[in-house]
Amino acid sequence: SRFNDGAKTGDISADMVIDKGCTFSILGHSERREFYNETNSLVSEKLRICLEKNILPVICIGESLEDYNAGKTLEVLDMQLKEIFTSISTKKTVVIAYEPVWAIGSGKTPTVNEVNNIHQHIKDIVQSIAEIEAISVIYGGSVNCENAKSFFQQTNIDGALIGGASLNGKDFLDIYYQGSKVLINEQDFFDLTWAYLLKSKEDNIVHTEIFFDPQSHTDRGIKFDLVINGIHRALLKGEK
């Protein structure tokens, strides 16, 4: 919600999600824009609340198929970025998810080079209109086991926002594994994985034996909820 508190029936405030252990929030998803009429101005208000409350914001932007075919992708993104980020100043990390509306759940994606260039453009625009010390730009829109690695290998793609593929535990773990090996050192990945799993066991989050074989990568003993909780840490560069 863009409101901190008060009688706002149906809204979920930042304090409410913090109470439940929330550490990040997706803002401006195309479905929120389409079905709930959320504007860039409203997304900007929610962004400020997230920064104030120490919630990692993941801001979604993207163009329609009509705009893409008309060659207006950058024009549309520039408008969204300027209306959301102008005058924002923070030393905290901000994540931007480039999600072409036409690619979400369709199985279609822009080319890897297109996405890489668009991500560089996004970073340049945001840095020119806002004072944000740490920006990560991730890609979302039909990311799957077959194409994930090609996206992660690009210089300007800092990770991925996984949608439909996250509903299948095996596929999601494969994407997690691919991204982690590309975005961080392989040994660091296994050290991080074990440290994360051991910490989870110490916190009594996991009550079963967990085994992960880095050589064969055939064991699926890692519980799905652990992968969900750890995905943004593994897929964003510099997060360990």
| Helix/strand/coil for 176 | helix
Per annotation, catalytic residue among 99, 119, 121, 232: 99
| Number of neighbouring beta carbons within 10 Å of residue 233 | 15
Q: Which residues contact 165 (CB under 8 A, 6 or more apart)?
A: 143, 144, 145, 171, 172, 175
Identify the burial level of 150 via C-beta atoms within 10 angstroms of its C-beta, where 0-12 means exposed, 13-18 middle and 19 or more buried: middle
| Sign, CA torsion 163/166/168/174 | positive
Is 99 catalytic? The answer is yes
Catalytic choice (29, 119, 121, 232) = 29
3-state secondary structure of 93: strand
Catalytic: 131? no
Cβ 130 vs Cβ 136: under 8 Å: no
- CA-nearest of 134, 27, 124, 44 to 84 is 44
Q: Quick one: how far is CA 224 from the chain centroid?
A: 18
From the list 180, 156, 160, 176, the residue with the least C-alpha distance to 168 is 176
50: part of which helix (H) or strand (E)?
Answer: helix 40-52
Catalytically active residues are 29, 99
